Amino acid sequence: MTTNKDIATPIRTKEILKKHGFSLKKSLGQNFIIDSNILTKIVDTAGLNKQTNVVEVGPGIGALTEHLARSSKEVIAFEIDDRLLPVLEDTLSPYNNVTIINKDVLQANLKEILSNKLDLTEPLMVVANLPYYITTPIIMYFLESTVRIDTLVVMMQKEVAERVTSAPGSKAYGSLSIAVQYYMDAEIAFIVPKTVFVPQPNVDSAIIKLTRRETPAVEVLNEKIFFEVVRAAFVQRRKTLWNNLSGRYGKNEGVKEKLIEALDYAGIDPKRRGETLSLVEFGKLSDGIYLKLLKLN
């Protein structure tokens, strides 16, 4: 098999953009990688093999896509910018295991699209350089999808990666940390300097690896209430749990009484702030609120 010349070099990227007269859209977060070593590290982090199918979001001009195509069984890449379709048709022409879907992944029927192309009983990963402006919705979309995705290896702003992987008590810890860690084990694999992109963003990035837990991190009575309580606890970070929860559920005497019972049930001091609670404590608190306050309504 002949080795195709990598897309991810400064010269080849410039050639491709010039050939197709392509101008980047800042609104779509288009930053293209020009260092093949980074892409090799991403593929190594994912541990791809020819039994693995991959979903990519935002393939751009195909720099990461071609590395995925070389290492996996099938690649389904969602690209929202239809101006890139002829570019991708050109750059990815050597690979017959890539399908480009011209849709916003957040608006797509993922199960229907993937089941038309893949055997969903086979291993499935998401590997992508995510557009910065929409990183969190995309991650949560895949975590909550009816399509089981066991691993995500994705690039995002370093600051967001620190939020996703942070522990209780840290400044970065918040509702995003809890939402992701409820479903997945999360780790930062490596940092990606801003110098390997065209155009160069203002901040460094990180590759994060999310591996699905066999069961969620905590067992709760009502998952919807768990996430509701977590969001409420961080509405105003500097405020106490008591202030945030009473702001969410009401301040009349009956509600306050039930909230006190819920906090007592969970063994949590109402003067604490949300950022100090572990996932287990949030689980106990949400169970308390469900049992003492909401189940009665």
Question: Is 129 marked as a binding-site residue?
Answer: yes
Contacts of 17 (CB under 8 A, 6+ apart): 24, 61
Structure-block tokens of residue 239 = 């405020």
Query: Tokens 């893949």 map to which residue?
Result: 118
User: How many whole angstroms separate alpha carbon 227 and alpha carbon 245?
Assistant: 13
Provide the CB-side half-sphere exposure for 13 (13 A, CA). Answer: 21
Question: Is 33 marked as a binding-site residue?
Answer: yes
User: How many whole angstroms separate alpha carbon 17 and alpha carbon 4?
Assistant: 18
Question: Is 104 marked as a binding-site residue?
Answer: yes
Contacts of 194 (CB under 8 A, 6+ apart): 200, 201, 202, 203, 204, 205
Cβ atoms of 49 and 72 closer than 8 Å? yes
- Strands 32-33 and 197-198 turn out to be antiparallel
Cβ atoms of 48 and 66 closer than 8 Å? no
Structure-block tokens of residue 261 = 């019972």
Question: Is 185 marked as a binding-site residue?
Answer: no
Question: Is 31 marked as a binding-site residue?
Answer: yes
Cβ atoms of 86 and 20 closer than 8 Å? yes
Q: What angle do CA 123, 135, 12 make, to 5 degrees?
A: 80
Cβ atoms of 256 and 196 closer than 8 Å? no
Question: Is 58 marked as a binding-site residue?
Answer: yes
Residues marked as binding for S-adenosyl-L-methionine? 31, 33, 58, 79, 104, 129
Residues marked as binding? 31, 33, 58, 79, 104, 129
